[in-house]
């Protein structure tokens, strides 16, 4: 049985957090100028490029958005990037904590009871990155062998593949090669960002964690993956990790859009705003067609 819950898009996914009311309000005001419905919550707003976990195994060692991406975001000329969903697929052995990781990020909950995922499930998380709305569709797959053929049908079209293993169980790390190979087989070579994520960090002492990370970082380099250690139980590194996934995927989507556009004549309705010299972006936003039927 395939479970693919048609989850509605929640504003910001997790419960709203009201740590700084004024900043929240200003974030909401900015977000509400953007086209994709309700505002995202403050902790889904990414203004600067999120940092890697370790420079020893990271996909990009840089601290800022690509210059062209930054300029395109400022001009609001990112095409349909703000309207599309980027697919992220999470794979790995049963019981490593894939569902827990996703639920911690999307719902801010943790359940210590194990409920095996049957087939697949997904969550949609909305962000605002460099002022542009952006959404990730995060696919949770079953680690149990008997559901593997169902889950693998959903690997196609992934922009990011997250291979998860349990930091306390070295066998699950060894199996990540196979999970990655299976997921990559369904995708175009070189088209996916790859992440290797060690889960259940809270169960290890600092020294034990560092020891486990040596092997994991080594494997991540081999896989050309970015490495992260996280805990769904405490929430450690969970938000930082998904922010990094979102920013990398977003930047790639914008760059692809710019590349496509430079190779073709501008099309009517390619999603870009008309840039009016000297006008603030808010004014440009107010000229954006507001809904179906508007020309
Ligand atoms: N201590 C601790 N336990 C965790 C953590 N993450 C998950 N668990 C526990 O590990 C068990 C398995 O977690 P799941 O998230 O269901 O694992 P899964 O990878 O989705 O498993 P399948 O759906 O069968 O593939 C559950 O009992 C969780 O409570 C964590 O960060 N710390
Ligand atoms: Mg699961």
- Minimum-distance ligand 1 atom for the alpha carbon of 113: 27
- pTM for this one? 0.81
* d(CA 140, ligand 2 centre) in Å: 7
Query: What percent of the chain is predicted at pLDDT more than 70?
Result: 77
**Residue 195 burial (10 A CB sphere; 0-12, 13-18, 19+):** buried
Quote ipTM for the complex.
Answer: 1.00
- For the segment 53-82, what is each residue's pLDDT rounded down to a tens digit? 999 999 999 899 999 999 999 999 898 888
Q: 150: left (phi > 0), else alpha (psi -120 to 50), else beta?
A: alpha
169 lines ligand 1 (CB under 6 A): no
pLDDT in tens, 166-181: 999 999 999 999 999 9
Q: How many A from CA of 152 to the centre of ligand 2?
A: 14
Check residue 16 and give its pLDDT.
33
In sequence order, what E strands does the chain have? 45-46, 85-92, 120-129, 132-141, 160-166, 193-199, 226-229
For ligand 1, say whether the CB of 97 is within 6 Å of any of its atoms: yes
Radius of gyration of the chain, Cα coordinates, nearest whole angstrom: 20
Task: Report pLDDT digits (tens) over 106-151.
Answer: 999 999 999 999 999 999 999 999 999 999 999 999 999 999 999 9
User: From the CA of 111, which ligand is nearest?
Assistant: 1
Domain boundaries, the chain: 42-52+80-260
Q: What is the CATH number of domain 42-52+80-260?
A: 3.40.50.300
Return the pLDDT at 114. 97
- With a 6 Å cutoff on the Cβ, whether 42 touches ligand 1 is no
Res. 52: pLDDT tops 70: yes
Q: Quick check: 274 pLDDT over 80?
A: no
């Amino acid at each position: 049985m395939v479970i693919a819950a048609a989850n509605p898009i929640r504003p910001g996914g997790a419960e709203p957090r009201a740590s700084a009311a004024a900043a929240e309000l200003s974030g909401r005001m900015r977000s509400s100028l953007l086209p994709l419905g309700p505002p995202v919550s403050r902790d889904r707003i990414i203004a600067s490029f999120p940092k890697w976990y370790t420079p020893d195994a990271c996909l990009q060692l840089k601290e800022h958005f690509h210059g062209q991406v930054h300029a395109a975001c400022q001009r609001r000329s990112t095409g349909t990037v703000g309207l599309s969903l980027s697919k992220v697929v999470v794979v790995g052995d049963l019981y490593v904590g894939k569902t827990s990781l996703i639920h911690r990020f999307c719902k801010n909950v943790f359940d210590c009871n194990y409920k095996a995922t049957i087939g697949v499930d997904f969550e949609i998380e909305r962000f605002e990155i460099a002022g542009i709305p952006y959404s990730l569709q995060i696919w949770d797959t079953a680690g149990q062998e008997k559901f593997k053929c169902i889950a693998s049908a959903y690997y196609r079209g992934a922009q990011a593949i997250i291979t998860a293993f349990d930091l306390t169980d070295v066998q699950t790390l060894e199996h990540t090669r196979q999970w990655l190979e299976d997921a990559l087989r369904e995708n175009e070579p070189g088209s996916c960002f790859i992440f290797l994520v060690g889960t259940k960090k809270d169960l290890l002492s600092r020294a034990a964690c560092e020891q486990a990370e040596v092997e994991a970082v080594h494997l991540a380099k081999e896989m050309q993956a970015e490495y992260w250690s996280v805990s769904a139980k405490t929430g450690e590194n969970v938000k930082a990790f998904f922010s990094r996934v979102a920013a990398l995927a977003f930047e790639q989507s914008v760059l692809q859009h710019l590349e496509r556009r430079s190779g073709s004549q501008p099309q009517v309705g390619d999603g870009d705003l008309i840039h009016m010299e000297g006008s603030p972006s808010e004014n440009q936003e107010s000229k954006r067609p507001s809904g179906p039927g508007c020309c």
